[in-house]
Structure 1
């Protein structure tokens, strides 16, 4: 995957609004976790962008995202829980694109995809 171009405005907002008090990997993970948990409105419909080795979803699958995965599962990357084919699964948020989400949720999803697309981690 090609690394996304630097977006200075987004970088500054992420640093000041999401990661302002984060000094280590765990604090960065929890900064992202709570930003997303408090900004995304559950449930919401999402489409799978691409297959991923950590997920049973395939490109173009549609799911209903019902919430964040437990904190302890989000210390390396952000996972969500979703209804898919009648069962609840855990999937990487980076694999999903929201469908008809509100403006704040779209920005949060874009922020997370930017973070992952830049190759950043916790």
Structure 2
């Protein structure tokens, strides 16, 4: 696990360096995730059923959602595979993430940023 100082240094000098507006910050995070998330990995996510109820499912997270503008100040989208279906879900919906150390570190940095 990274220290708060290490995380802040990565944010300031690797992710949002030279960013002057929200669009540039969003793009900085997108490219950081593109370089640091290792796919696929498993996680659980609540999926809504046709009857309106939800069911917690183990899914395979296979990609960062394709739109770099989809990263906001507090969330971003990932593409998941559930059986034969592909869909985008918010990172904030994922729990029990089973991923590489590099991917977990990237999420640690993001979680620090949004708090």
TM range (shorter): 0.7 to 0.9
- 1:1-27 CA-to-partner distances (Å, cap 9, x unmatched) read xxxxxx344223211111112111011
Q: Confirm or deny that 1:78 pairs with 2:61.
A: no
Q: In proportion to residue count, which structure has more strand?
A: 2
SS in 2 for 1:42: coil
CA deviation after TM superposition for structure 1 residue 85, in Å:
4.4
TM-score w.r.t. structure 1 length? Answer: 0.71
1:14 corresponds, among 11, 15, 19, to 11
Count of residues paired in the alignment: 105
Q: Which moved more, 1:104-113 or 1:70-79?
A: 70-79
* Unpaired runs of at least 5, structure 2: none
2:103 aligned to which of 70, 86, 105: 105
For normalisation by structure 2, the TM-score amounts to 0.75
Report the equivalent of 2:34. 37
- Aligned-residue RMSD, C-alpha: 2.4
